Amino acid sequence: MKSVYFVKVSMLLGIASMALVYSLTGCGNNTQTDEKNPVDTAGAMVDVTTLTKIADTTLAQNKVSVFVQDSLTSKNETIYIQVTDLDGDPTTDAHLDYDVVMDMGMVSHGGPYYPPVDLGNGLYKAEVVFIMANMNDMGKGWMLNAVLNKKDTLSFLLPVSEATPARTIPVGTKDDGRVFVSLLLPDEAKTGTQPIDFTLHKMDHNHFPPLDNYTVEIEPFMPDMGHGSPNNKAATSKGDGHYSGMINFTMKGHWKIKVNLFKGGEKVSQEELEFPVEVR
């Protein structure tokens, strides 16, 4: 497996050449936002008081706040955006759109992201893949640009640090060029059989469309013990670049998940990826 340094340099060489100017109509991927935000009533159970507020701003009639679970790192992350009135009561009839841009000073680029999902009670969920961390002395870093009710434009600086260990890694492929593979499994997992999820996004100039026509083959391995585990299931597409499979950790300790991309039964990733996981 290549070192984190090499991965970062590789990504920079690939994206610094883009020199793009992004708009708020979907610069990070090719998914168009619907006129009305999709509603996920199951997500309405999210308790904002358990989240960490990282930014907010006050408008003439509304207050907009940005929350995360803990902190933001260079991986697939979920961001929550809350819209209230000036008294703090939820605004239930708002329309929200957004994009993310990495401001590196001389150049800017986007990254994969999905349209906002309305969780109800003025709360919106945004899924973003940060393909790199903010870098000192290189621009403002990641920014979330939002449009509220199609008239108020807001910008929030996002504190994105390096994910350790890496959870989003680029890999060359036979047909789709550079693909960003994101592991959604936590850094620490429990023993036994459990779901394992990934997202896949292609880097296509100034777009990062999700990829759905792959199979993500997985092989868990314990370097210290010299063995793997049985009863693992490759991750298959669930749509919108999301993949789900099953993985079996038979004992506690340090594991590595070896990952290869297949299409039509043929291996198409140019190198094998490795994601370390501590099993407790």
Spell out the domain ranges in the chain. 18-161, 168-279
In whole angstroms, give the CA distance from residue 124 to residue 82: 6
Name residues whose C-beta falls within 8 Å of residue 35's C-beta, 6 or more positions apart in sequence: none
Kindly report, residue by residue over 170-221, the tens digit of the pLDDT.
999 999 999 999 999 988 899 999 999 999 999 998 799 999 999 999 999 9
Q: Regarding the domain delimited by 168-279, which CATH topology (the fold level of the hierarchy) does it fall under?
A: Immunoglobulin-like (2.60.40)
CATH 2.60.40.1930: does it fit domain 18-161? yes
Q: pLDDT tens-digit profile of 236-270?
A: 999 999 999 999 999 999 999 999 999 999 999 99
Q: How far apart are CA 214 and CA 219, in angstroms?
A: 16
CB-CB neighbours of 188 under 10 Å: 9
* Closest residue by Cα to residue 74 from 141, 151, 19, 172: 141
Return the H-helix or E-strand segment holding 145: strand 141-148
Identical topology for domains 18-161 and 168-279: yes
**What are the Cα distances from residue 193, in Å, to 232, 235, 249, 259, 276?**
8, 14, 6, 17, 17
Cα 68 from Cα 78, distance rounded (Å)? 7
pTM metric for this prediction:
0.86
